Amino acid sequence: MAPVEPERAERIGLRKRDQRGTPQAGAAQSASTSGPSAEAFTQARLDQLIADGKPVFVNFTAAWCITCLVNERVALRSPAVAEAFARQGVVYLKADWTNRSAEIASVLGSFGRSGVPLYVIYPARAGKPAAPEPRVLPQILSEGTIIDAIDKEIL
């Protein structure tokens, strides 16, 4: 997905840029930041959480992805989503593909994807001998989409 022109991004409230087009510190984060706290993604961390039987939500994103930025602003930073994650014990991992890491590209490829956004829920094992299959969420998110998926996959 192509980067958004600075004027359009500023107009829709996603990020402000200086005259050279460089994002200003804190501009994108100044929107709502009351959503769930995210840990940085690594395959090792994901594997450990799955082995421990914990439910995991992975947000594969990039700073230049307009859809990702809108989803974060509209859905992922929601207090209701944070409450659902806390209620269900979901660990939130953020896979930042801004610089196109090989590790993240490999995981994207395992889902038949070559880019972002990608949102995946790994359900809790809850006493099952094998981890349940991960569930891919739509590319356009809402609070309800995330909360419903969490409640269905975790319970």
Q: What is the mean pLDDT of residues 94-122?
A: 97
Lowest mean pLDDT among 31-45, 64-78, 83-97: 31-45
Q: What is the DSSP letter of 106?
A: H
Report residue 139's pLDDT band, with 50, 70 and 90 as the boundaries.
Answer: very high
Burial, 95: exposed, middle or buried (Cβ in 10 Å; 0-12, 13-18, 19+)?
buried
Q: How confident is the model at residue 35 (pLDDT cuts 50, 70, 90)?
A: confident
Q: How far is Cα 33 from Cα 29, in angstroms, rounded to an integer?
A: 7
As a residue count, the chain comes to: 155
Angle, vertex CA 18, rays to CA 59 and CA 72, nearest 5: 20
What pLDDT score was predicted for residue 91?
A: 97
Q: State pTM to two decimals.
A: 0.77
d(CA 14, CA 8): 9
CATH no. for 33-154:
3.40.30.10
Q: Which residue has the higher pLDDT, 13 or 149?
A: 149
Domain ranges of the chain: 1-31, 33-154
Under 8 Å between Cβ of 96 and 116? no
Q: How confident is the model at residue 126 (pLDDT cuts 50, 70, 90)?
A: low
Among 20, 7, 10, 113, CA closest to 69: 10
